[in-house]
């Protein structure tokens, strides 16, 4: 069994602690977090893939920012209607790798699907960031005020939060999307941000309730700091871990929410392109042209998955109790050098401060 | 008991207030979101006629009055539901009352959501516990990755994919005689062998042994299915089918005993084997019985209760010092064996169902919640329901299972670190007893507070699955009415959800307090 709970300290525990201690020795909190994050394989892979997707989406079909049009390197745009080549099938190298004139194929009018998907990806990324920022700001403000001031302010704000949680977000999103789907996409993103902040607000409130009782807050208060200063300078930095982690998770659900709404017709509509709209628009063609909704779906999954992995990595990095579990190989290697690495004094300290984690394989 | 009543009263009062406020907010939002005049405005009819029609519609829908007066009128009708005179308004296009539109839709949605939730909990929790028991193993990492993947799946995309690939491929498979190809057999055997082997844990030798046995078993079953045309005619009530049912029942008896008391408890093992034998003995009498009565779900539930009682009786008849434990094992086995008999009877209609004039040999439906005008027995209709509910519920299970897996995994890991588990192990209890009796129950406890709230999430997911699969459920009604700018059905749906949400929270709190003696409810 892997879960035998042996009360006696075992060399494996010391090893883990030794590795951990070596990791944190003489480093600042920020450095520890950064190091741990960089050692989280899933998160790094997620980060790299996400960066590549963003780069591809924005460089290929170009974008316009503040009235400035940046052209892309891709030969088609979403408005081009080239002749249908090879009955719209994706052009590939060796039948597998998408490449050539229409790597993702063409739809029945001739639109290049690659250009459409890239434009939709841009929309998803924009929605993700705007929702993240809006929800984070609202969540922090509501949570901080309610956790710091407590009392009736807290009661009132938390009841409002509960009220927002009454309906599944997709239901409220559909009603609001119905109202705002003529507006530019960023307005819809702001609206979605305004209905996704609740869990964050609750978590921030919890953090504030705990942190405001700590000595350093008392010290700040005694030395005459005003509430705003205490909240932003003293408490907020300490709650940042929870906030960042929750915001990333929220961003991935924002991608899924926006595409789902666009799929239902309550989100982003033409002339703007959304991945959800592409799937919805092409779903009747799935038997003849499956590639039309393969790619949009795949991009949505890649975006959401990458962000979830980054969030997981951040959570592990920010959690002080989290220990990195060395692989079996690393453990065996460290085992052979165990005697040389761990001194008796060190063992005593580590043994004393051992965390409660029981299963240790 | 008293604090519980005070708690309930207080929570129900605040919930009523929440429903009032949220319904007002939603009424306001929906009223500004829908624009019944939009189609008229866009139409190309002469201006005069257009203006007349617009004025007429405005008057009918009272669009010129402030939203708040319209809300109070709506509320007056809705509050009639408290004394049995519901008036949730009408669909202004078809003049159908919202209450009658909802009544059928609610049943459809409840079927879907309940089935999906139950499957998601059972499968998700099982995988979560196994994953926790094998922490940091290859199996655990694979499950973690898979649950991340499921978290990231867009519901609508999964639904469209299942509809276009799984359903069509399965139907083709049935239509072509239901024969597995060699590639399929090898692939399925390898995958299940690997998964089961990894889930059982242990060293490489054990993995290979268990995985090999499982793979061989799967391959044999698939070959047998090819030979016996299982997918064409899964059961025909022949003596061969009786032997199959008996074999499955005995396997269930062993399985349940292993998990419930361990095979060393002979009395329990004999109990469940007796129950399995009784099930086999009842095979032909039951077939005779089904021909005599017209089935209904009420009858089935009654029979399940009767079989559980029989199981308990057998357990007590075997006696011994641990009678209650045998009785429990007997009851669980009896219900499962009864379910096997039920499924066998259902399987006997499969051939007639797939080849009926309504189905044309393509059983898995991709749209609608039932085959229109299907005539036939209870069994026919049940098969029809199952073939229709399969895809939407698989979709919902796929997207909602991951959270249960993660949740149960975390809580199992926490429970396994508790002192009482250490004590249980120190007492020399077997690993099975420690896991099943001490860890399992406590690990599932937190689910009591998650599930009721999670049902709301699944309800949101049902919105999309119902739309994709053309189910005439509440979610579909909501989406369609919102598209067609009809306010009242939308508000009907929102009202039901608005009532469900606080109710789910109360149920979660009460359930937790009942199950966990450490938690006390105080208002």
| Whole-angstrom distance, CA of residue A17 vs CA of residue A324 | 9
A74: left (phi over 0), alpha (psi -120 to 50) or beta: beta
| Whole-angstrom distance, CA of residue B52 vs CA of residue B124 | 58
Interface test with B, best of A167, A267, A319, A324 (most B CBs within 10 A): A167
B76: burial class by Cβ within 10 Å (0-12, 13-18, 19+)? Answer: exposed
Residue in A5, A290, A304 closest to B421 by CB: A5
Mean of the pLDDT values across residues B306-335?
A: 90
Q: Give the per-residue pLDDT at B102.
A: 86
| Whole-angstrom distance, CA of residue B252 vs CA of residue B385 | 26
For residue range B282-303, what is the model confidence (pLDDT) as tens digits? 999 888 888 877 778 889 999 9
Query: Residues 22..41 of A with a Cβ closer than 8 Å to B: which?
Result: none
Length of chain A: 361
Mean of the pLDDT values across residues A76-90?
A: 72
A32-46, A81-95, A210-224, B227-241: which range is least confident on average? A81-95
With contacts defined as CB-CB under 8 Å, which chain A residues touch B156?
Answer: 259-260, 263-264, 276, 279-280
For residue B435, is the peptide bond before it cis, meaning its omega torsion is within 30 degrees of 0?
no
Q: Which two tokens stand for residue A58?
A: 């924005």
Q: Give the per-residue pLDDT at A145.
A: 93
Contact with chain B for residue A69, Cβ under 8 A: no
Which DSSP symbol is given to A88? G
Among A62, A84, A10, A56, CA closest to A299: A56
Q: Is-contact B262 B435, C-beta < 8 A?
A: no
Query: Residues 177..216 of A with a Cβ closer than 8 Å to B: which?
Result: 178-179
Alpha helices in B62-154 (DSSP H): 67-79, 98-133, 138-151
Residue A326: pLDDT above 60?
no
Q: Are residues A260 and B464, on separate chains, in Cβ contact within 8 Å?
A: yes
For residue range B153-181, what is the model confidence (pLDDT) as tens digits? 999 999 888 888 888 888 888 888 888 88
Between residues A1 and B504, the one the model is more confident about: B504
Query: Residues 99..118 of A with a Cβ closer than 8 Å to B: which?
Result: none
Among B197, B196, B177, B193, CA closest to B185: B193
Q: Give the per-residue pLDDT at B369.
A: 77
Q: Are residues B154 and A276, on separate chains, in Cβ contact within 8 Å?
A: yes
Give CA angle at A266 (B151, B473), nearest 5°: 75
For residue range B81-132, what is the model confidence (pLDDT) as tens digits? 778 777 888 888 888 888 888 888 888 898 899 999 999 999 999 999 999 9
Note the ipTM here: 0.86
Give CA angle at A158 (B491, A255), nearest 5°: 65
Decide: helix, strand or coil at residue A63: strand
What is the torsional sign of CA A216, A222, A223, A225? Answer: positive
Mean of the pLDDT values across residues A179-203?
A: 89
Q: Give the per-residue pLDDT at A19.
A: 60
Among B112, B105, B108, CA closest to B400: B112
Residue in B33, B152, B460 closest to A304 by CB: B152
Q: Which two tokens stand for residue B212?
A: 């090999």
Q: Give the per-residue pLDDT at A330.
A: 63
Q: Give the per-residue pLDDT at A356.
A: 38
For residue range B184-215, what is the model confidence (pLDDT) as tens digits? 899 999 999 988 888 887 778 888 898 999 99
Q: What is the average pLDDT score of chain A?
A: 80
For residue range A132-167, what is the model confidence (pLDDT) as tens digits? 999 999 999 999 999 999 889 998 998 888 888 888
| Whole-angstrom distance, CA of residue B268 vs CA of residue A270 | 66
| Whole-angstrom distance, CA of residue A284 vs CA of residue B51 | 37
Q: How confident is the model at residue A355 (pLDDT cuts 50, 70, 90)?
A: very low
A26-40, A341-355, B366-380, B493-507: which range is least confident on average? A341-355
Contact with chain B for residue A168, Cβ under 8 A: yes
The neighbouring-strand residues paired with A69 are: A64
Q: Give the per-residue pLDDT at B523.
A: 44
Which DSSP symbol is given to A213? T
Q: Are residues A308 and B151, on separate chains, in Cβ contact within 8 Å?
A: yes
pTM over 0.90: no
Mean of the pLDDT values across residues B488-501?
A: 89
Q: Work out the angle between the directed axes of helices A328-336 and A11-24 (0-180°, nearest 10).
A: 100
Residue in A2, A259, A293 closest to B135 by CB: A2
Q: Give the per-residue pLDDT at B129.
A: 92
* Kind of pairing between the strands at A63-65 and A68-70: antiparallel
Residue A344: pLDDT above 80?
no
A94-103, A211-220, A284-293, B217-226: which range is least confident on average? A94-103
**Phi, then psi, of B145 in degrees rounded to 5:** -65, -45
Q: Give the per-residue pLDDT at B358.
A: 79
Among A261, A302, A111, CA closest to A176: A261
Report the gap between the CA of B457 and the closest CA in chain A (Å).
Answer: 6
Share of chain B above pLDDT 70, in %: 99
Q: Give the per-residue pLDDT at A24.
A: 58
Residue in A175, A290, A300 closest to B157 by CB: A300
- DSSP string spanning A148-184? HH-HHHHHHHHHHHHHHHSS-HHHHHHHHHHHHTTS-
For residue range B132-148, what is the model confidence (pLDDT) as tens digits? 998 888 888 889 899 99
Contact with chain B for residue A326, Cβ under 8 A: no
Q: How confident is the model at residue A7 (pLDDT cuts 50, 70, 90)?
A: very low
The neighbouring-strand residues paired with A70 are: A63
Contact with chain B for residue A357, Cβ under 8 A: yes
Share of chain A above pLDDT 70, in %: 77
Contact with chain B for residue A174, Cβ under 8 A: yes
Contact with chain B for residue A262, Cβ under 8 A: no
Interface test with B, best of A3, A259, A302 (most B CBs within 10 A): A3
Mean of the pLDDT values across residues B366-394?
A: 84
Residue in A163, A264, A297 closest to B157 by CB: A297
Residue B265: pLDDT above 90?
no
With contacts defined as CB-CB under 8 Å, which chain A residues touch B493?
Answer: 171
Q: Give the per-residue pLDDT at B275.
A: 93
Which DSSP symbol is given to A324? P
């Amino acid at each position: 069994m892997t879960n035998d709970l042996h009360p006696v300290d075992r060399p494996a525990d010391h090893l883990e602690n030794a590795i951990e201690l070596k990791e944190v020795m003489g480093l600042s909190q920020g450095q520890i977090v950064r190091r741990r994050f960089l050692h989280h394989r899933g998160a790094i892979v997620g980060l790299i893939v996400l960066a590549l997707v963003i780069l591809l989406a924005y460089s290929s079909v170009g974008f316009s920012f503040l009235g400035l049009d940046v052209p892309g390197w891709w030969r088609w745009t979403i408005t081009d209607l080239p002749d249908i080549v090879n009955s719209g099938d994706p052009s590939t190298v060796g039948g597998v790798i998408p490449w050539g004139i229409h790597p993702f194929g063409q739809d029945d009018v001739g639109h290049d699907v690659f250009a459409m998907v890239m434009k939709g990806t841009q929309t998803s990324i924009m929605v993700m960031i705007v929702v993240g920022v809006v929800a984070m700001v609202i969540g922090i403000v509501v949570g901080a005020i309610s956790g710091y001031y407590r009392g009736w302010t807290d009661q009132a704000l938390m009841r409002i939060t509960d009220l927002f949680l009454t309906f599944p977000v997709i239901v409220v999103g559909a009603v609001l999307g119905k109202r705002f789907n003529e507006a530019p996409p960023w307005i819809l993103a702001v609206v979605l941000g305004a209905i996704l902040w609740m869990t964050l607000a609750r978590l921030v409130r919890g953090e504030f309730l705990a942190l405001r009782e700590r000595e350093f807050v008392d010290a700040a208060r005694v030395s005459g700091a005003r509430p705003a200063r205490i909240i932003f300078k003293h408490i907020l930095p300490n709650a940042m871990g929870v906030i960042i982690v929750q915001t990333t998770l929220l961003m991935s659900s924002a991608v899924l929410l926006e595409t789902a709404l666009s799929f239902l017709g309550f989100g982003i509509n033409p002339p703007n392109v959304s991945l959800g709209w592409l799937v919805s628009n092409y779903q009747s063609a799935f038997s003849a042209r499956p590639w039309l909704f393969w790619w949009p779906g795949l991009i949505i999954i890649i975006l959401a998955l990458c962000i979830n992995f980054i969030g997981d990595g951040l959570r592990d990095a920010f959690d002080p109790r989290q220990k990195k579990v060395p692989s079996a190989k690393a453990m065996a290697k460290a085992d052979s050098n165990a005697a040389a690495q761990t001194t008796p004094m060190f063992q005593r300290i580590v043994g004393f401060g051992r965390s409660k984690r029981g299963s240790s394989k | 008991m008293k604090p519980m009543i005070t708690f309930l009263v207080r929570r129900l009062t605040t919930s009523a207030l929440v429903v009032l406020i949220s319904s007002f907010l939603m009424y306001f939002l929906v009223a500004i979101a829908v624009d019944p005049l939009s189609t008229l405005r866009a139409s190309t009819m002469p201006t005069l006629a257009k203006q007349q029609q617009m004025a007429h519609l405005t008057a009918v829908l009272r669009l010129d009055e402030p939203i708040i007066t319209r809300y109070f009128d709506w509320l007056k009708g809705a509050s009639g539901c408290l004394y049995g005179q519901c008036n949730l308004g009408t669909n202004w296009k078809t003049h159908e009352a919202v209450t009658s539109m909802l009544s059928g839709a609610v049943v459809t949605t409840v079927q879907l959501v309940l089935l999906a939730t139950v499957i998601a909990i059972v499968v998700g929790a099982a995988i979560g516990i196994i994953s926790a028991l094998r922490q940091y193993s290859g199996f655990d990492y694979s499950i973690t990755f898979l649950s991340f993947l499921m978290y990231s799946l867009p519901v609508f995309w999964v639904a469209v994919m299942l509809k276009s690939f799984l359903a069509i491929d399965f139907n083709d498979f049935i239509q072509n005689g239901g024969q597995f190809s060699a590639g399929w057999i090898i692939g399925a055997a390898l995958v299940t062998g690997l998964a089961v082997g990894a889930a059982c844990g242990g060293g490489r030798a054990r993995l290979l042994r268990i995985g090999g046995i499982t793979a061989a078993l799967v391959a044999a079953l698939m070959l047998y299915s090819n030979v016996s045309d299982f997918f064409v005619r899964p059961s025909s009530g022949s003596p061969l089918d009786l032997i199959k049912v008996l074999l499955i029942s005995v396997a269930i008896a062993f399985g349940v005993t292993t998990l419930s008391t361990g095979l060393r408890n002979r009395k329990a093992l004999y109990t469940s084997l007796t129950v399995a034998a009784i099930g086999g003995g009842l095979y032909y009498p039951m077939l005779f019985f089904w021909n005599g009565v017209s089935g209904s779900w009420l009858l089935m539930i009654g029979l399940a209760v009767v079989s559980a009682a029989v199981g308990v009786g057998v357990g007590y008849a075997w006696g011994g010092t641990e009678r209650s434990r045998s009785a429990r094992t007997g009851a669980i086995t009896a219900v499962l064996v009864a379910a096997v008999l039920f499924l066998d009877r259902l399987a006997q209609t499969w051939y007639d169902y797939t080849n009926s004039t309504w189905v044309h040999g393509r059983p898995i439906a991709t749209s609608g919640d039932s085959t229109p005008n299907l005539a036939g027995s209870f069994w026919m209709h049940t098969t029809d329901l199952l073939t229709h509910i399969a895809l939407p519920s698989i979709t919902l299970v796929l997207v909602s299972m991951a959270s249960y897996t993660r949740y149960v995994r975390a809580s199992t890991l926490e429970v396994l670190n508790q002192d009482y588990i250490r004590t249980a192990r120190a007492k020399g209890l077997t690993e099975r007893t420690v896991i099943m009796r001490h860890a399992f129950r406590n690990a599932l406890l937190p689910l009591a507070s998650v599930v009721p709230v999670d049902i709301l999430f699944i309800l949101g997911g049902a919105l999309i699955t119902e739309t994709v699969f053309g189910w005439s459920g509440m979610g579909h009604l909501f989406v369609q009415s919102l598209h067609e700018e009809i306010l009242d059905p939308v508000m009907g749906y929102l009202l039901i959800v608005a009532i469900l949400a606080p109710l789910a929270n109360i149920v979660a709190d009460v359930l937790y307090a009942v199950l966990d003696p450490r938690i006390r409810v105080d208002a």
